[in-house]
Protein backbone atom coordinates (compact mmCIF):
# COMPACT_ATOMS: atom_id res chain seq x y z
CA UNK A 1 0.00 0.00 0.00
CA UNK A 2 2.95 2.33 0.50
CA UNK A 3 3.51 2.21 -3.25
CA UNK A 4 0.40 4.37 -3.49
CA UNK A 5 0.33 6.25 -0.19
CA UNK A 6 4.03 6.47 0.61
CA UNK A 7 6.84 8.78 -0.40
CA UNK A 8 8.25 9.22 -3.94
CA UNK A 9 11.43 7.54 -2.72
CA UNK A 10 9.55 4.29 -2.08
CA UNK A 11 8.03 4.35 -5.55
CA UNK A 12 11.40 5.05 -7.16
CA UNK A 13 12.90 2.11 -5.27
CA UNK A 14 10.11 -0.22 -6.39
CA UNK A 15 10.24 0.78 -10.04
CA UNK A 16 14.04 0.72 -10.12
CA UNK A 17 13.84 -2.88 -8.92
CA UNK A 18 11.07 -3.70 -11.41
CA UNK A 19 13.00 -2.23 -14.35
CA UNK A 20 16.18 -4.08 -13.37
CA UNK A 21 14.26 -7.37 -13.28
CA UNK A 22 13.49 -6.94 -16.98
CA UNK A 23 16.65 -5.08 -18.00
CA UNK A 24 19.56 -5.97 -15.68
CA UNK A 25 21.83 -3.48 -17.43
CA UNK A 26 19.65 -0.69 -16.01
CA UNK A 27 21.29 -1.15 -12.60
CA UNK A 28 24.70 -0.33 -14.05
CA UNK A 29 23.34 2.81 -15.70
CA UNK A 30 21.51 3.86 -12.52
CA UNK A 31 24.60 3.41 -10.36
CA UNK A 32 26.66 5.46 -12.80
CA UNK A 33 24.03 8.19 -12.78
CA UNK A 34 23.85 8.31 -8.97
CA UNK A 35 27.65 8.47 -8.80
CA UNK A 36 27.60 11.50 -11.08
CA UNK A 37 24.90 13.12 -8.91
CA UNK A 38 27.04 12.56 -5.79
CA UNK A 39 30.13 14.01 -7.46
CA UNK A 40 28.18 16.97 -8.84
CA UNK A 41 26.67 17.67 -5.39
CA UNK A 42 30.15 17.61 -3.86
CA UNK A 43 31.28 20.13 -6.47
CA UNK A 44 28.35 22.46 -5.70
CA UNK A 45 29.39 22.56 -2.03
CA UNK A 46 32.74 24.15 -2.83
CA UNK A 47 34.28 26.83 -5.02
CA UNK A 48 34.48 25.62 -8.60
CA UNK A 49 35.34 26.88 -12.04
CA UNK A 50 32.87 27.01 -14.91
CA UNK A 51 35.03 24.43 -16.73
CA UNK A 52 34.73 21.97 -13.83
CA UNK A 53 30.98 22.38 -13.67
CA UNK A 54 30.65 21.99 -17.44
CA UNK A 55 32.36 18.59 -17.27
CA UNK A 56 30.01 17.27 -14.58
CA UNK A 57 26.98 18.84 -16.24
CA UNK A 58 27.78 16.99 -19.44
CA UNK A 59 28.22 13.67 -17.65
CA UNK A 60 25.02 14.27 -15.73
CA UNK A 61 23.06 14.96 -18.93
CA UNK A 62 24.42 11.83 -20.62
CA UNK A 63 23.57 9.49 -17.75
CA UNK A 64 20.21 11.10 -17.04
CA UNK A 65 19.10 10.56 -20.65
CA UNK A 66 20.17 6.91 -20.40
CA UNK A 67 18.13 6.43 -17.20
CA UNK A 68 15.11 8.10 -18.80
CA UNK A 69 15.37 5.81 -21.83
CA UNK A 70 15.05 2.73 -19.58
CA UNK A 71 12.19 4.20 -17.55
CA UNK A 72 10.29 5.26 -20.66
CA UNK A 73 10.69 1.81 -22.22
CA UNK A 74 9.48 0.09 -19.04
CA UNK A 75 6.41 2.29 -18.59
CA UNK A 76 5.40 1.79 -22.21
CA UNK A 77 5.52 -1.98 -21.71
CA UNK A 78 3.74 -1.77 -18.34
CA UNK A 79 0.90 0.46 -19.51
CA UNK A 80 0.42 -1.61 -22.66
CA UNK A 81 -0.05 -4.67 -20.43
CA UNK A 82 -2.59 -2.75 -18.34
CA UNK A 83 -4.57 -1.85 -21.45
CA UNK A 84 -4.40 -5.15 -23.27
CA UNK A 85 -4.29 -7.86 -20.60
CA UNK A 86 -5.81 -6.39 -17.46
CA UNK A 87 -8.35 -3.87 -18.75
CA UNK A 88 -11.43 -5.96 -17.92
CA UNK A 89 -10.76 -6.78 -14.28
CA UNK A 90 -13.77 -4.66 -13.32
CA UNK A 91 -15.40 -1.34 -14.17
CA UNK A 92 -13.48 0.17 -11.26
CA UNK A 93 -10.16 -0.34 -12.97
CA UNK A 94 -10.79 0.90 -16.49
CA UNK A 95 -7.99 3.24 -17.51
CA UNK A 96 -5.53 2.11 -14.84
CA UNK A 97 -2.04 3.31 -15.72
CA UNK A 98 1.19 4.67 -14.26
CA UNK A 99 2.36 8.17 -15.21
CA UNK A 100 5.84 9.59 -14.80
CA UNK A 101 6.20 12.87 -12.92
CA UNK A 102 9.42 14.81 -13.40
CA UNK A 103 10.74 18.23 -12.46
CA UNK A 104 12.17 18.34 -15.97
CA UNK A 105 9.50 19.24 -18.51
CA UNK A 106 8.80 16.42 -20.99
CA UNK A 107 11.55 14.33 -19.40
CA UNK A 108 11.16 11.33 -21.69
CA UNK A 109 11.51 13.57 -24.74
CA UNK A 110 14.55 15.42 -23.42
CA UNK A 111 17.96 15.12 -25.02
CA UNK A 112 21.32 16.13 -23.55
CA UNK A 113 21.06 19.65 -24.94
CA UNK A 114 17.74 20.25 -23.19
CA UNK A 115 19.06 18.86 -19.91
CA UNK A 116 22.05 21.19 -20.11
CA UNK A 117 19.72 24.12 -20.81
CA UNK A 118 17.63 23.21 -17.76
CA UNK A 119 20.76 23.06 -15.60
CA UNK A 120 21.78 26.49 -16.84
CA UNK A 121 18.37 27.91 -15.86
CA UNK A 122 18.66 26.70 -12.26
CA UNK A 123 22.39 27.17 -11.71
CA UNK A 124 21.81 29.98 -9.19
CA UNK A 125 19.39 27.90 -7.13
CA UNK A 126 21.68 24.87 -7.24
CA UNK A 127 24.59 26.93 -5.94
CA UNK A 128 22.40 28.27 -3.13
CA UNK A 129 21.10 24.82 -2.16
CA UNK A 130 24.41 23.11 -2.97
CA UNK A 131 22.81 20.12 -4.62
CA UNK A 132 21.36 18.91 -7.91
CA UNK A 133 17.75 20.09 -8.13
CA UNK A 134 16.56 18.19 -11.19
CA UNK A 135 16.89 14.59 -12.37
CA UNK A 136 15.58 11.07 -12.04
CA UNK A 137 16.67 10.81 -8.40
CA UNK A 138 13.91 13.33 -7.58
CA UNK A 139 11.17 12.15 -9.94
CA UNK A 140 7.99 10.31 -9.02
CA UNK A 141 5.42 7.86 -10.41
CA UNK A 142 1.65 8.43 -10.21
CA UNK A 143 -1.03 5.72 -10.29
CA UNK A 144 -4.05 6.90 -12.26
CA UNK A 145 -7.64 5.85 -12.96
CA UNK A 146 -8.49 7.76 -16.09
CA UNK A 147 -7.82 11.38 -15.15
CA UNK A 148 -7.96 10.77 -11.41
CA UNK A 149 -5.14 10.13 -8.96
CA UNK A 150 -5.37 6.75 -7.26
CA UNK A 151 -3.84 8.22 -4.11
CA UNK A 152 -6.40 11.01 -3.82
CA UNK A 153 -9.62 9.38 -5.05
CA UNK A 154 -9.44 5.60 -4.58
CA UNK A 155 -10.67 3.58 -1.61
CA UNK A 156 -8.36 1.37 0.41
CA UNK A 157 -9.66 -1.71 -1.40
CA UNK A 158 -9.13 -0.12 -4.82
CA UNK A 159 -5.58 0.87 -3.93
CA UNK A 160 -4.82 -2.63 -2.70
CA UNK A 161 -6.27 -4.20 -5.85
CA UNK A 162 -4.35 -1.82 -8.11
CA UNK A 163 -1.06 -2.76 -6.45
CA UNK A 164 -1.91 -6.46 -6.77
CA UNK A 165 -2.57 -5.93 -10.48
CA UNK A 166 0.78 -4.14 -10.76
CA UNK A 167 2.56 -7.11 -9.18
CA UNK A 168 0.73 -9.59 -11.43
CA UNK A 169 1.69 -7.57 -14.49
CA UNK A 170 5.31 -7.46 -13.32
CA UNK A 171 5.36 -11.22 -12.79
CA UNK A 172 3.92 -11.80 -16.26
CA UNK A 173 6.50 -9.46 -17.83
CA UNK A 174 9.35 -11.20 -16.01
CA UNK A 175 8.15 -14.55 -17.32
CA UNK A 176 7.59 -13.26 -20.84
CA UNK A 177 10.79 -11.25 -21.27
CA UNK A 178 13.30 -13.26 -19.21
CA UNK A 179 11.77 -16.78 -19.22
CA UNK A 180 12.11 -16.83 -15.43
CA UNK A 181 9.00 -18.25 -13.74
CA UNK A 182 8.06 -16.15 -10.70
CA UNK A 183 6.64 -17.55 -7.48
CA UNK A 184 3.69 -15.52 -6.17
CA UNK A 185 3.24 -15.18 -2.39
CA UNK A 186 -0.13 -13.72 -1.33
CA UNK A 187 0.31 -12.93 2.36
CA UNK A 188 -3.19 -12.24 3.75
CA UNK A 189 -4.06 -9.78 0.99
CA UNK A 190 -7.69 -10.84 0.63
CA UNK A 191 -8.97 -9.34 3.89
CA UNK A 192 -9.95 -6.04 2.21
CA UNK A 193 -11.06 -7.49 -1.12
CA UNK A 194 -14.57 -8.55 -2.01
CA UNK A 195 -15.36 -11.96 -3.46
CA UNK A 196 -15.53 -10.69 -7.04
CA UNK A 197 -12.03 -9.25 -7.01
CA UNK A 198 -10.65 -12.27 -5.17
CA UNK A 199 -12.01 -14.48 -7.95
CA UNK A 200 -10.48 -12.19 -10.57
CA UNK A 201 -7.06 -12.57 -8.95
CA UNK A 202 -7.51 -16.33 -9.11
CA UNK A 203 -8.39 -16.09 -12.81
CA UNK A 204 -5.46 -13.83 -13.57
CA UNK A 205 -3.03 -16.19 -11.87
CA UNK A 206 -4.46 -19.19 -13.72
CA UNK A 207 -1.84 -21.91 -13.93
CA UNK A 208 0.93 -19.63 -15.13
CA UNK A 209 2.43 -18.97 -11.68
CA UNK A 210 3.30 -21.12 -8.71
CA UNK A 211 1.27 -19.39 -5.99
CA UNK A 212 1.25 -19.62 -2.20
CA UNK A 213 -1.67 -18.08 -0.29
CA UNK A 214 -1.47 -17.37 3.43
CA UNK A 215 -4.83 -16.45 4.94
CA UNK A 216 -6.73 -16.87 8.22
CA UNK A 217 -10.01 -16.96 6.25
CA UNK A 218 -11.19 -20.51 5.65
CA UNK A 219 -13.51 -19.43 2.83
CA UNK A 220 -10.52 -18.53 0.68
CA UNK A 221 -10.43 -22.28 -0.09
CA UNK A 222 -13.66 -21.83 -2.06
CA UNK A 223 -11.83 -19.52 -4.47
CA UNK A 224 -8.55 -21.42 -4.74
CA UNK A 225 -10.41 -24.72 -4.72
CA UNK A 226 -7.78 -26.72 -6.61
CA UNK A 227 -4.91 -25.62 -4.34
CA UNK A 228 -3.69 -28.12 -1.72
CA UNK A 229 -4.07 -26.90 1.87
CA UNK A 230 -1.17 -26.81 4.31
CA UNK A 231 -2.48 -26.29 7.84
CA UNK A 232 -0.36 -25.25 10.84
CA UNK A 233 1.14 -28.25 12.49
CA UNK A 234 0.54 -30.48 9.49
CA UNK A 235 3.39 -32.71 8.44
Q: What is the pLDDT of residues 4-15, one digit of tens each?
A: 999 999 999 999
In this prediction, residues 82-103 reach a mean pLDDT of: 78
Predicted pLDDT of residue 107: 95
Longest dimension (CA), the chain: 71
Q: What is the DSSP string of 30-97?
A: HHHHHHHHHHHHHHHTS---HHHHHHHHHHHHHHHHHHHHHHHHHHHHHHHHHHHHSTTS-GGGTTEE
Q: What is the pLDDT of residues 112-155, one digit of tens each?
A: 999 999 999 999 999 999 999 999 999 999 999 877 888 888 88
Could you give the percent of the chain with pLDDT greater than 90? 57
How many alpha carbons lie under 13 Å from residue 58 in its C-beta half-sphere?
Answer: 6
| Domain boundaries defined on the chain | 2-88+102-140, 156-222
Q: How far apart are CA 153 and CA 99, in angstroms?
A: 16
Q: Which residues contact 203 (CB under 8 A, 6 or more apart)?
A: none
Average model confidence (pLDDT) across the chain: 89
Q: What is the pLDDT of residues 203-217, one digit of tens each?
A: 777 777 888 888 887
Q: Which residues pair with 183 in a beta bridge?
A: 210
**Is the Cβ–Cβ distance between 209 and 183 less than 8 Å?**
yes
**Is the Cβ–Cβ distance between 1 and 92 less than 8 Å?**
no
Query: Is 42 or 214 the better-scoring residue by pLDDT?
Result: 42
**Looking at the domain covering 2-88+102-140, what would its CATH class be?**
mainly alpha
Amino acid sequence: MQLVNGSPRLRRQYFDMAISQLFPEYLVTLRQYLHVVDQRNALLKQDFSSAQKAVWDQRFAEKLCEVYAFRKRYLEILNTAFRESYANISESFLGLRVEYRSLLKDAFGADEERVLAALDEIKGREKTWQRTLVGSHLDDYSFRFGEHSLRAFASGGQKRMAVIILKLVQAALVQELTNIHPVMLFDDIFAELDTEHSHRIRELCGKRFQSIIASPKADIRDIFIDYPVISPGAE
